[in-house]
Amino acid sequence: MRVLVAMSGGVDSSVSAVLLKKAGYEVIGLTMKTWSYEGEALQSRRTTGCCNLDDINDARSVAVAFDFPHYVLDLRQEFGEAVVEHFIQEYLAGRTPNPCILCNTYIKWDALLQKADLLSCEKIATGHYAQIRYERGRFFIAKAADLTKDQSYVLWGLSQEVMARTLFPLGTYLKQEVRQLAANWGLSRVAHKKDSYEICFVPGGDYRTFIKEKAPEVKNLRGGAIIDVAGRQVGTHEGYPFYTIGQRRGLPALGKPYYVVEIRPETNTLVIGEEEHLRKKTLYMRQLVWHKYPALPYEGYPAVVKIRHMDAGHEARLFLEGNGLRVEFWEGVRAITPGQAAVAYEGADMIVGGWIA
């Protein structure tokens, strides 16, 4: 069986490709170039993603060592339109985006499947730490064996058709096992390569500078009101796109800790409050993608819901709310952030994912 493997140049995707090769698959490697620092004002700063020449060469070196073809696919235009522009517009709308989920759902998998069809590949594969299971006629994402590296949260947008053709070779491996395999196979260029945890197109994670350069009109938002939960103005801000729910830095000193609890872009206003005001018991999800079940089994269905990638999860019940879901937590959850994703699990199995409205 022929499989197209997305290769970022890191240890995870490299080991995934070799595992499939050793398992008897006919492997083709593909590196997707999604961003370029040439001509960017930020290019002098440290790059962080999977888009530089060194990463492409690292992926190619693995393909050469294990004798399978490797291609590079230029997706900079598609990535810019679907991910970078959305990233900027979400901040301007007072939300905090998650570009990795958008990239997975609308860029990487679409591109992989199109290229797979052109190359007559039946399957595609990536180096994500997650598993795909099949029960009662449905595919669904499940957590990886290595819960410290589990990436299931960012994969909720994958459809049934996509999951039917996708392989996650690392789903049952621990990270240290993956690095050891790379070392055993002589993949010295990637075996001890550091993982990237930052947004690939925002060097150093400095999204504020990125937005200022890409959307210079944000300078007009400086000086908007900061009010407390009682409606009293207590200061002014630098521009609401530069703040997120739960943020403490950059707020006026008022004698005790205050946090951003609400962003009102329509009036260019930040609302701040104390820790207790950050905790909410209700969350609304939209643009749902169902996994283990085709619909909610019953009203009040129990689940553990994650509201960000590194979140441990919170016990809740799920209720239908129009075309979305209402999530009722047992206890108040800190800093629920519009624009991020919420993903509901039953044990290790994903039930449903969607955007936090």
What is the rounded average pLDDT of the residues 308-325? 95
32-36, 94-98, 225-229: which is most confident: 225-229
103 noted as active-site residue: yes
Please report the sign of the dihedral spanned by the C-alpha atoms of residue 17, residue 20, residue 24, residue 26. Answer: negative
Q: Distance of CA 142 to CAs 19, 151, 154, 171, Å? A: 20, 9, 12, 9
50 noted as active-site residue: no
3-state helix, strand, coil in the chain (%, to 5): 30, 30, 40
- Annotated active-site residue in 50, 51, 103, 121: 103
Strand partners, 324: 321
Predicted confidence at residue 97, as pLDDT, reads 85
pLDDT exceeding 90 applies to what percent of the chain?
Answer: 72
Q: How confident is the model at residue 193 (pLDDT cuts 50, 70, 90)?
A: confident
Predicted confidence at residue 77, as pLDDT, reads 81
Using the structure block, give the residue that is written with the tokens 């992989």. Answer: 112
pLDDT tops 70 at residue 198: no
Structure tokens that stand for 308 in this block: 């960000």
How many other C-beta atoms lie within 10 A of the C-beta of residue 36? 15
Predicted confidence at residue 125, as pLDDT, reads 97
Predicted confidence at residue 42, as pLDDT, reads 44
C-alpha span between 247 and 118 (Å, rounded): 46
Residues 255-297 pLDDT 10s: 899 999 999 999 999 999 999 999 999 999 999 999 999 999 9
Fold assignment, 215-273? SH3 type barrels. (2.30.30)
Nearest-10 Cα torsion for 331, 334, 338, 339: -110
Structure tokens that stand for 229 in this block: 């939960």
Strand partners, 332: none
Residues 37-47 pLDDT 10s: 454 444 444 44
Structure tokens that stand for 150 in this block: 């589990």
CATH superfamily of 2-127+169-205: HUPs (3.40.50.620)
- Comparing 87 with 170, which gets the higher pLDDT? 170
- Comparing 55 with 352, which gets the higher pLDDT? 352
Question: How do the domains of the chain map onto residue ranges?
Answer: 2-127+169-205, 215-273
Please report the sign of the dihedral spanned by the C-alpha atoms of residue 2, residue 66, residue 190, residue 204. Answer: negative
C-alpha span between 209 and 215 (Å, rounded): 10
Please report the sign of the dihedral spanned by the C-alpha atoms of residue 29, residue 34, residue 36, residue 42. Answer: negative
Beta strands at 314-321 and 301-306: parallel, antiparallel or unpaired: antiparallel
Q: pTM for the whole thing?
A: 0.90
DSSP 8-state symbol, 338: B
Structure tokens that stand for 281 in this block: 């018991």
11-22 and 53-65 are packed helices; what angle lies between their axes, rounded to 10 degrees? Answer: 20
Q: Terminus-to-terminus CA distance in the chain, angstroms?
A: 42
Give the range among 5-14, 143-152, 172-181, 185-194 with minimum mean pLDDT.
185-194
b (16+ CB within 10 A) / e for 153-181: bbbbbbeeebbebbbbbbbebbbeebbeb
